[in-house]
Amino acid sequence: MKIKKLFMERAIQLANNGIGIISPNPIVGCVIEINGLIISEAWNYQCENEHAEVKAINKIKNDSLFLKSTLYVTLEPCSHLGTTPSCVDLIIKKKISIVVIGAKSPFIKSRIGIKKLKKYGIKVIENYLHDQCRIINKRFFTFYEKNRPFIILKWDQSYDGFIASSFKKNECISNIYSRQLTHKWRSEEDSILVGEKTILMDNPELNTIKWNGKNPVKIFLDKELSIPNYYHLFDNKQDTIIFTEKKIEKKNNKIEFIQICFDQKLLEQILFFLFKKKIQSIIVEGGKKILEIFIKKNIWDESRVFISNKIFNDGLNAPIVNGNIILKKNIDTDILIIKSFY
Ligand SMILES: NC(=O)c1ccc[n+]([C@@H]2O[C@H](COP(=O)([O-])OP(=O)(O)OC[C@H]3O[C@@H](n4cnc5c(N)ncnc54)[C@H](OP(=O)(O)O)[C@@H]3O)[C@@H](O)[C@H]2O)c1
Ligand SMILES: [Zn+2]
């Protein structure tokens, strides 16, 4: 039987449906194929609480088909009994002939799965389209391998490199497309962080109103608790975490106050708290100071920068990052996506 790229690519395409929906679970796509034809396919979706492999397998009613079939899955199948039955045991029970796996799981306890499949005579092909299969789960892998959320730094800058103009307050840099894309990006991440000055100056809502998707958890730093409570941040429409140096008992159903020390380890304290809370990703949307906390420590994964054709002549300089450009696109303004060397 010939292993074909096309089937794993389809599994990756299916897995991508889960971005922004199923965190903290990984996104997974699965395709079952016989003689070049897909006979079943699925992706994991939180509400149904079933793994992609189980869903794809259960759609096939004629068990004799499994003997001739190849199962493609983007992430190593689970082998532990969790809230759902083990995918490895189901694959063995159904006597699937070949299993093609994209990326290995970061969990040691899942690792026995491949050995078990082989022990039962199933041919296993590992690391197939490995890089692509890892990238789709970059949030999940970063979280478990680095013990912190995946970090995206995002800002808009003028053609001459400013994130704010000296002359016009709230001068818009982006356009309607980039604003909508920003809302799509927000919907894909677990949380969003902005600096205190940005909040005081721009009073942002930090929602996804221009896109059909979930709202991220709002995070902000308010050392002295100086942001007035009539600001959008306190509108109670989204879960909100406020890091402060003040001791505060106040509790509100959607707003959580966390006391930390605003010292050299500020970033580490924030990331550790988010890790414990299972927040797998964060999009940092400026201003300059807050972005530079991440850049100076070299703790970030991706930068997404909109470069418009407006000229400001003077203002607040945009941050500078070093990394590999992984995407350059134009939607009336240039979009650059840069991957950290870190
Ligand atoms: N173009 C864009 O994409 C974009 C996006 C967002 C904002 N902006 C613009 O950026 C400007 C605001 O940026 P900004 O750089 O002035 O402020 P900022 O990054 O929004 O906020 C930084 C704030 O965090 C505080 N902070 C507390 N602890 C800190 C620490 N350990 N390290 C660094 N900061 C700490 C700072 O206090 P201290 O002042 O005491 O240091 C400061 O008030 C506004 O004009 C806004 O419109 C542009
Ligand atoms: Zn599973």
> Which pLDDT does position 48 carry in this prediction?
59
Give tens-digit pLDDT for 195-210: 999 999 999 999 999 9
Give tens-digit pLDDT for 255-289: 999 999 999 999 999 999 999 999 999 999 989 99
Pairing of strands 281-284, 150-157: parallel
The verdict on whether 256 is a catalytic residue reads no
Cα-based distances in Å from 38 to 52, 60, 94:
15, 11, 17
> Which pLDDT does position 195 carry in this prediction?
93
Give tens-digit pLDDT for 37-77: 999 999 987 655 789 999 999 999 999 999 999 999 999 99
Nearest Cα neighbor of 34 from 61, 62, 83, 68 is 68
Determine if ligand 1 sits within 6 Å of the CB of residue 297.
Answer: no
Distance 292 CA to ligand 1 centre (A): 9
Buried b / exposed e over 120-148, threshold 16 CB at 10 Å, is eebebeeebbeeebbebbbbbbbbbeeeb
Active-site residue among 33, 41, 50, 53?
53
Beta carbons of 124 and 99 less than 8 angstroms apart: yes
Q: Tell me how far apart the alpha carbons of residues 127 and 103 are, in angstroms, rounded to a whole number.
A: 5
Residue-range domain boundaries for the chain? 5-141, 148-340
The verdict on pTM exceeding 0.85 is yes
Nearest Cα neighbor of 155 from 280, 282, 281, 291 is 291
Query: Could you write out the DSSP letters of every residue in 110-126?
Result: GTHHHHHHHHTT-EEE-
Any idea which ligand is nearest the CA of 25? 2
Distance 215 CA to ligand 1 centre (A): 22
CA trace torsion 123, 126, 132, 134 (10° rounding): 130
CATH number, domain 148-340:
3.40.430.10
Fold of 5-141: Cytidine Deaminase; domain 2 (3.40.140)
Model confidence at 18: pLDDT above 80 = yes
Distance 139 CA to ligand 1 centre (A): 25
Look up residue 292 and give its two tokens.
Answer: 């530079």
> Which pLDDT does position 27 carry in this prediction?
95
